Every structure is written in structure tokens, then in C-alpha cells.
């Protein structure tokens, strides 16, 4: 089932209109979950960090024991060609994907002789700046590299995120603030997370249990260039309870204000607004 509209699919070397079938029933990725993807955005005629997202999916493929078959520059050009069919005001989610085709003699290990590749473009509007979210805790945690492919943006990781969201919604919240294996805050069910206290910005230090995102890194670079103090450190749930502002960082929305964590209420504060403003300014400067 598609999330967006006006879908285009790149598969077998050409662009197709619509949600084109791309996977066979016996493909390794179909029944053993060896699929990886990445997500970039087109909005206001901009595709910020598109090259970084295309480079990351190749790293994800390698982490999933797949052979990435399209180099970064070629992938960027394929995406740009596909985007030409959209209007100047279109907001598009850009999703390149790899998956395993054949398995080894055990069936479990994907062979590197053939790798599936596709790109899906879907029109999905950017959320408005004031569109916030609410957080609660969840009993589900982020895995570690010893028991999951945490160093890849892999589809097999996302059922865990989905059950976090289902639990949060059952409690009347939209999203979940998630712990790592040691009980410290890692991220949310859908995105990386920042908090602000006394004018300084804090985010959980990347410890291998979550994907430290491209947009997260861009925000930190922008904030530091603007003179803000940004800490990557170990953070507890108590830290977030005592925060002045909380916001999420991800490719889909770029910046999402948090208006509540459990019973704690937050305003969309000046740092959150500034981070969004800086991101849009930086993206426009890269046109």
C-alpha cells in the first residue's frame, strides 16, 4: 500500500509511472527481509543532502551483506531525472531501495551475484511548521549491533518501531521516546531527538543502537555555526522531563516540535523555530 500519490518507480533501468511491482515471491528480500532503503526529500525545488542519502544506502546495503550496484553519483542523476516529471511546487519523498535476490546454500545469507534495486518517488506534502507531536515511554527498546543490523537503514528494523507507535497510541500519545539497551534515551520511534535546557541543545550520543541521521548531523552543524552550544551526550528520561524544549529531527519532516512528554507540556520554543529556519536557509543556499 502506498503512502503518497503520483508515484513513479525506477526499475530495470527505466522510469515507470505508478506503483510498479519490483519483487518476486522467491526473492531473498521478500521472505528473509534483506531489504534496505533510504529517504530523501524534494520540497520547494530543493533536494537537500540527496548525495548523502544515496551514499548511505550503499553503506546500508554492504551492512546487509548485499552488493550495492549503483554508485552515488549515478543514483543522484537517476533521481534527478525522475523528479523532472513533478511540478515546481511538488513535495516528494525519494526512496532508493536494495534487496537480496538469491540466497546461499543455507538460503539465509544473500548472495552478492545479483541485487535488486529500485527507486520510488511519492508525492507527500511537507508537514506545516506548527505540526507537533506528543511523546510517551514504551517498553520496547532499540536493539544493539550484536542482535540486529543497527548499522543499516533496514526494513527489518521497523516492525519494532511500529509496535512502539501502537503502544504509544494506545496511551493517547502520537510517538514514543525510546530507550537503548542500558535504559538511556536513544531516539523516538520515528526520528532522532533533541532537547533544549537553559539555551543549550542536547542530543543522545550515537552509540550504535540507532541511526544517527543525516538531518541530525546537518542540524548540529547549522546550530554550531550559529554559535549555539550543542552536546552529544548520555541523556535520561529525567533530562527530557526537565527540558525547556524538545524537537525531533528526521528526513521526512526535518524539524518536528514536541508539545508533550507524558504529563509535561512544552511550547514551540525559540530554539526549535531557529533550527527550522536555519535548515531552510541552508537548503536554499545549496540550490
* DSSP string over 203-221: EEPP-SSS---HHHHHHHH
Please compute the mean of the pLDDT values over residues 140-144 and round it to a whole number: 97
For residue 60, the SS3 value is helix
User: For residue 58, what are the domain limits?
Assistant: 6-123
Q: Are 138 and 274 members of one domain? A: yes
Is the distance from CB of 35 to CB of 154 less than 8 angstroms?
A: yes
In a domain, 249, yes or no: yes
Q: Is 206's pLDDT higher than 60?
A: yes
In a domain, 1, yes or no: no
What residues contact residue 158 under an 8 Å CB cut-off, 6+ apart?
Answer: none
Q: Are 33 and 157 members of one domain? A: no
Q: Are 32 and 106 members of one domain? A: yes
Which pLDDT score is estimated for 286?
82
Which pLDDT score is estimated for 2?
72
Which pLDDT score is estimated for 5?
95
DSSP state of 1: -
Q: CATH number of the domain that 193 lies in?
A: 3.20.10.10
Please compute the mean of the pLDDT values over residues 186-204 and round it to a whole number: 98
Q: Is 125's pLDDT higher than 60?
A: yes
92 phi and psi, to 5 degrees? -125, 135
Average pLDDT over the chain, rounded to whole?
A: 97
Q: Is 181's pLDDT higher than 50?
A: yes
Domain end call among 123, 142, 159: 123
Q: Is 3's pLDDT higher than 90?
A: no
Q: Are 108 and 145 members of one domain? A: no
Q: Are 141 and 229 members of one domain? A: yes
Domain end call among 104, 123, 142: 123
The confidence band for 198, taking pLDDT boundaries of 50, 70 and 90, is: very high
Q: Is 201's pLDDT higher than 90?
A: yes
Q: How buried is 73 (Cβ within 10 angstroms: 0-12 exposed, 13-18 middle, 19+ buried)?
A: exposed
The confidence band for 240, taking pLDDT boundaries of 50, 70 and 90, is: very high
> Would you say how long the chain is, in residues?
287
Q: Are 94 and 219 members of one domain? A: no
Q: CATH number of the domain that 10 lies in?
A: 3.30.470.10
Q: Is 1's pLDDT higher than 80?
A: no
Q: Are 246 and 210 members of one domain? A: yes
Q: Are 141 and 259 members of one domain? A: yes
- Which residues on neighbouring strands pair with residue 92, listed in sequence order? 42, 123
Q: Are 137 and 119 members of one domain? A: no
In a domain, 128, yes or no: no
Cα–Cα distance for residue pair 70/80, rounded to 1 Å: 15
Is the distance from CB of 234 to CB of 205 less than 8 angstroms?
A: yes
List, in sequence order, the alpha helices (H) in the chain. Answer: 28-32, 50-63, 72-83, 158-170, 214-225, 237-241, 270-285
Q: Is 205's pLDDT higher than 50?
A: yes
Q: Are 13 and 57 members of one domain? A: yes
The confidence band for 172, taking pLDDT boundaries of 50, 70 and 90, is: very high
Domain end call among 65, 92, 123: 123
Cα–Cα distance for residue pair 139/168, rounded to 1 Å: 10
Q: Is 261's pLDDT higher than 70?
A: yes
CA angle centred on 152, ends 133 and 66, rounded to 5°: 145
Number of domains in the chain: 2
Condensed to tens digits (0 to 9), the pLDDT of residues 31-48 reads 999 999 999 999 999 999
Amino acid at each position: 500500500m502506498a503512502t503518497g500519490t503520483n508515484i513513479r518507480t525506477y526499475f530495470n533501468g527505466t522510469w515507470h509511472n505508478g506503483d510498479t511491482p519490483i519483487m518476486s515471491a522467491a526473492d531473498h528480500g521478500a521472505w528473509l527481509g534483506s531489504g534496505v532503503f533510504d529517504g530523501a526529500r524534494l520540497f520547494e525545488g530543493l533536494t537537500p543532502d540527496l548525495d548523502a542519502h544515496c551514499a548511505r544506502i550503499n553503506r546500508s546495503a554492504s551492512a546487509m551483506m548485499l552488493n550495492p550496484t549503483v554508485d552515488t553519483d549515478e543514483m543522484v542523476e537517476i533521481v534527478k531525472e525522475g523528479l523532472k516529471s513533478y511540478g515546481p511546487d511538488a513535495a516528494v519523498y525519494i526512496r532508493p531501495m536494495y534487496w537480496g535476490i538469491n540466497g546461499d546454500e543455507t538460503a539465509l545469507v544473500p548472495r552478492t551475484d545479483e541485487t535488486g534495486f529500485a527507486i520510488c518517488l511519492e508525492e507527500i506534502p511537507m508537514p506545516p511548521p506548527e505540526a507537533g507531536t506528543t511523546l510517551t515511554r514504551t517498553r520496547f527498546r532499540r536493539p544493539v549491533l550484536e542482535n540486529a543490523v543497527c548499522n543499516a537503514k533496514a526494513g527489518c528494523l521497523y516492525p519494532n518501531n511500529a509496535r512502539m507507535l501502537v503502544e504509544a497510541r494506545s496511551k493517547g500519545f502520537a510517538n514514543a521516546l525510546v530507550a537503548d539497551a542500558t535504559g538511556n534515551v536513544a531516539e523516538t520511534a520515528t526520528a532522532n531527538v533533541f532537547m533544549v535546557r537553559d539555551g543549550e541543545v542536547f542530543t543522545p550520543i550515537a552509540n550504535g543502537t540507532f541511526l544517527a541521521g543525516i538531518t541530525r548531523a546537518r542540524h548540529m552543524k547549522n546550530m554550531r555555526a550559529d554559535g549555539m552550544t550543542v552536546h552529544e551526550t548520555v541523556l535520561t528520561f529525567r533530562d527530557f522531563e526537565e527540558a525547556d524544549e524538545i524537537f525531533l529531527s528526521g528526513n521526512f519532516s526535518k524539524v518536528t516540535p514536541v508539545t508533550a512528554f507524558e504529563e509535561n507540556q512544552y511550547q514551540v520554543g525559540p530554539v526549535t523555530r531557529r533550527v527550522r529556519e536555519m535548515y531552510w536557509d541552508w537548503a536554499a543556499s545549496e540550490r
